[in-house]
Amino acid sequence: MRVEGQLLDLFREVEAGQTAEAVTIDSEDGLNILRHSAAHVTAQAVQKLHADAKLGIGPFITDGFYYDFDVEEPFTPEALKAIEKEMQRIIKQGQRFARRVVSDEDARAELANEPYKLELVGLKGSAGSDSGEDVEVGAGELTIYDNVDPKSGDTVWFDLCRGPHLPSTKLIGNGWSLMRSSGAYWRGSEKNPMLQRIYGTAWPTKDELVAYKTRIEEAQKRDHRKLGAELDLFSFPDEIGSGLAVFHPKGGIIRHEIETFMREQLLAHEYELVNSPHITKGALFETSQHLNWYKDGMFPAMHLDEVTDDEGNVTKPGQDYYLKPMNCPFHNLIFRARARSYRELPLRLAEFGTVYRYEKSGTLSGLTRVRGLTQDDAHIYVTDEQVKDEIKRQLEFVFDTLRAFGLNDFYLELSTRDPEKSVGSDEQWAVAEATLREVGEESGLELVDDPAGAAFYGPKISVQARDAIGRTWQLSTVQLDFNQPELFELEYAAADGTRKQPIMIHRALLGSIERFFAILLEHYAGAFPVWLAPEQVVGIPVADEYADYLGEVIGKLRKAGVRARLDDSTDRMPKKIRTHTKAKVPFLLIAGEDDRSAGAVSFRFRDGSQRNGVPVDEAIELIRGAIVQHTLVTTDADLQ
Taking each helix axis from N to C end, the angle separating 513-523 and 206-222, rounded to the nearest 10 degrees, works out to 120
| DSSP secondary structure code for residue 134 in this structure | G
Phi, psi of 574 (to 5 degrees): -60, -35
624 annotated active-site: no
d(CA 170, CA 376): 51
Q: Where are the alpha helices (DSSP H) in 282-373?
A: 282-287, 290-293, 328-336
Phi, psi of 8 (to 5 degrees): -135, 155
Whether residue 74 has a cis bond before it, omega within 30° of 0: no
Question: Which member of 134, 159, 377, 481 is catalytic?
Answer: 377
* 328 is an annotated ligand-binding site residue: yes
d(CA 407, CA 382): 29
Question: Which member of 375, 394, 464, 536 is catalytic?
Answer: 375
* 278 is an annotated ligand-binding site residue: no
Written in H, E and C, the secondary structure of 81-98 is HHHHHHHHHHHHHCCEEE
The answer to whether residues 498 and 205 touch, using CB atoms and an 8 Å cutoff, is no
255 annotated active-site: no
Q: Is 506 helix (H, G, I), strand (E, B) or coil?
A: strand
Cα→Cα distances 343→337, 382, 383, 388, 606, Å: 17, 10, 10, 18, 53
Question: Which member of 197, 371, 506, 507 is catalytic?
Answer: 506
The answer to whether residues 604 and 635 touch, using CB atoms and an 8 Å cutoff, is no
- Mention every residue, 6+ apart, whose C-beta is less than 8 A from residue 252: none
Question: Which member of 379, 507, 523, 584 is catalytic?
Answer: 379
Cα→Cα distances 86→168, 268, 271, Å: 16, 63, 63
d(CA 180, CA 199): 5
- Mention every residue, 6+ apart, whose C-beta is less than 8 A from residue 15: none
**Strand locations in 233-298 (E):** 234-235, 246-247, 272-273, 279-281
Q: Is 444 helix (H, G, I), strand (E, B) or coil?
A: coil
CB atoms within 10 A of CB 47: 17
Count the residues in the chain. 640
Question: Which member of 95, 255, 328, 523 is catalytic?
Answer: 328
Question: Which member of 117, 460, 596, 604 is catalytic?
Answer: 460
187 annotated active-site: no
d(CA 281, CA 333): 13
Question: Which member of 224, 357, 507, 596 is catalytic?
Answer: 357
Cα→Cα distances 530→562, 584, 586, Å: 10, 10, 6
Distance of CA 546 to the CA centre of its chain: 48
162 annotated active-site: no
d(CA 176, CA 640): 46
161 annotated active-site: no
d(CA 177, CA 38): 9
| Angle at the Cα of 75 from the Cα atoms of 72 and 78, rounded to 5 degrees | 130
* 161 is an annotated ligand-binding site residue: no
d(CA 504, CA 501): 9
Residue numbers annotated as active site: 328, 357, 375, 377, 379, 460, 506
Detail the residues annotated as belonging to a binding site.
328, 379, 506
Detail the residues annotated as belonging to a binding site for Zn(2+).
328, 379, 506
